[in-house]
Amino acid sequence: MQIIFYKCHSGDAKYEVVLFEQANRIGGVWNYPAGCEENLEQDPASPFYSRMYKNMRTNLPTDLMCWKAFRFHKEVGLMTM
């Protein structure tokens, strides 16, 4: 995704980027729509369906969890092990 972002915003006219998203909002599995805690739908067609959950933690390095050009703010309060 970082290379797509770079190519879209670098002014490099050699590339035409086309993205496809099955859902009606971008984000893939990282999309956590407002209201999904109140509407715990199991139907993947539901606008509230998400594989994410509030306060989810991963075991991935922070650098893999953010965009290179858009690092996490210090206020996010990342937990270190």
Tens digit of each residue's pLDDT (9 = 90 or more) over 42-63: 676 776 666 666 677 777 777 7
pLDDT of the residue at 63: 73
pLDDT of the residue at 65: 73
pTM: 0.33
Given a cut of 50, is residue 35 above it in pLDDT? yes
Residues 6 or more apart whose Cβ sits within 8 Å of residue 48: 33, 35, 36, 39, 40, 41
Given a cut of 50, is residue 81 above it in pLDDT? no
User: What gap in Å lies between CA 71 and CA 68, rounded to an integer?
Assistant: 6
> Read out DSSP for 20-35?
--SSSSS-GGG---TT
Average pLDDT for 7-34: 70
